[in-house]
Amino acid sequence: MTSLQERQANRSLTLNAETAADLMTPNPLSIRQNASVKEAAAFLSDRGISAAPVIDDAGRAVGVLSRTDIVVHHRQEAQFVPEFSEYYERTELTTRADERLPSGFQVENVDPSQVRDIMTPVVLGVSLNESARKVITQMVDKKVHRLFVVDGSDVLVGVISALDVLRRIQ
């Protein structure tokens, strides 16, 4: 090993953050609790995130919705096509009210479930001045990938992910 490699191997890592405020990503993307599951799936996919806090009308975090929650929901809500359906024999499609649909349209069974129905109703939050060490310890102890940061009124102001922690290590 060269002396440079030896020095780098012996160098300890340092966390460059004192508090949760130093670690967090401010103004996290969130999902309304009354959004449809379909909207939530598009929201997470379009933004390339695996989970987001769920907020009520006052902006307070009331839960967390992850891609896993959506997959589990869809697995439990599977609808099966009957063995034989007249749908496949008809050439003209109509709605349940017998309204004729133009060519190229199809009928979809819309899932009426809302985010509040499938979210994890637990929010693991920390205050802005919680020590960075306690934040990391809590993430490890609770085996979670993210913690939410709330202000004195319990309004969501940030999120700390495992990636946020890694970004502050040198």
pTM for the structure as a whole? 0.70
Beta-carbon count within 10 A of 130 CB: 18
End-to-end CA distance of the chain: 22
pLDDT beyond 60 at 53:
yes
Q: Which residue has the tokens 């002396």?
A: 3
Beta-carbon count within 10 A of 23 CB: 25
Q: Is position 125 within any domain?
A: yes
**What's 101's domain CATH number?**
3.10.580.10
Q: Is position 8 within any domain?
A: no
Q: Is position 47 within any domain?
A: yes
Q: Is position 143 within any domain?
A: yes
pLDDT beyond 60 at 32:
yes
| CA 1 to chain CA centroid, nearest Å | 44
Q: Is position 9 within any domain?
A: no
pLDDT beyond 80 at 39:
yes
Q: Is position 30 within any domain?
A: yes
Q: Is position 5 within any domain?
A: no
| Number of domains, the chain | 1
Q: 26 lies in which domain range?
A: 14-106+115-167
Q: What angle do CA 165, 168, 170 make, to 5 degrees?
A: 125
How do residues 64-113 score in pLDDT, each as one tens digit?
999 999 999 988 876 655 554 555 555 566 666 777 766 766 666 678 89
Q: What angle do CA 154, 149, 48 make, to 5 degrees?
A: 120
Work out whether the CA dihedral 52, 45, 49, 145 comes out positive or negative.
positive
Instruction: Give pLDDT, residue 157.
Output: 92
